[in-house]
Amino acid sequence: MKNKFDIKFSAAKAEGKKIQLMAHMLAGYPSVSVNKETAWAMEQAGADYLELQLPFSDPLADGPVIMRGNHHALKKNFSLEKGFRLIEDLASGQNMPIFVMSYYNLPFVFGLEKFMGILEQVGVSGVIIPDIPFDDESEEYIQRMSAFKLHAALVISPGTSSKRLKAIGKKASGFVYTTLRTGITGAKQTLSHEGLTQFKKIRRAFPKKLALAAGFGISRPEHVKALEGKVDIAVIGSKLILLTVERGPLAVGEFISSIVSSIVS
């Protein structure tokens, strides 16, 4: 299976890009219009991929910043219908391949096939659903996703055993996302030791070509720099959301630019 993500990812690899960036955004927070401006700023600044989170009432893996953003968006009547419209606008209005992040209840209640059919139609590259851990049901889920030409990116953590990593590596599609600590989302001053020392174990268990992304806690250019050569993609979440809300889309662009230039240098 090859979609927009695969094409962009292998091109960046061929160019010799040391690390790629995935920028996270929460749909409807603070508003749809700010979402669109922010996506534009992210792309201009050199972000490679967009992770778009759909708000949910009970986001189990999210820390206070993203959780409160979820609640804020829902309070302002952000609906799934608006979410699909935003995804469509973002997919046609810019070039970063999009991964939709959502908790399982949204596609489950809407109807998984119907949900994924819509995402495929508007040209989304994949989905990240953090509350489907790897087990019997997730295998079926990955297969069903691939019928829609969508990657089902699996999430792992520093505590995942080598045995599980091996099994996950065999089934993974697109990229595997590892968390940089055993915890919930949230910007941190420093990256944890357990997060930065997990990659050897992961690489040993995974097929060579499988793309690896890492996130949770990245808040400075040095953090991304520290991940160079260790992972293919750095994911930045809470920090960008804080910047968007406190200082606006342009500040998000500036922050991403500062990371991009630190990678080049």
Residues forming the site for another protein (CB under 8 A):
56-58, 60-61, 63-64, 67-68, 71, 74, 79-80, 104-106, 108-110, 130-137, 154-161, 164, 179, 182-184
Cβ-Cβ contacts under 8 Å for 147 (sequence gap 6 or more): none
Q: Least distance to another protein from the beta carbon of 221, Å?
A: 26
Q: Would you call 62 a catalytic residue per the annotation? A: yes
Residue 133: closest CA among 99, 168, 107, 159: 168
Considering the complex, state which of residue 103 and residue 148 has its C-beta at the smaller distance from another protein.
103
Considering the complex, state which of residue 206 and residue 255 has its C-beta at the smaller distance from another protein.
206
CA distances from 255 to 12, 86, 196, 252, 259 (A): 21, 24, 22, 5, 7
CA 241 to chain CA centroid, nearest Å: 13
Q: Would you call 254 a catalytic residue per the annotation? A: no
96/53 Cα distance (integer angstroms): 15
- 134 with 141: CB under 8 angstroms? no
Active-site choice (15, 43, 58, 62): 62
Neighbours of 40 (CB within 10 A): 15
Active-site choice (15, 37, 43, 51): 51
Q: Least distance to another protein from the beta carbon of 31, Å?
A: 18
Active site residues: 51, 62
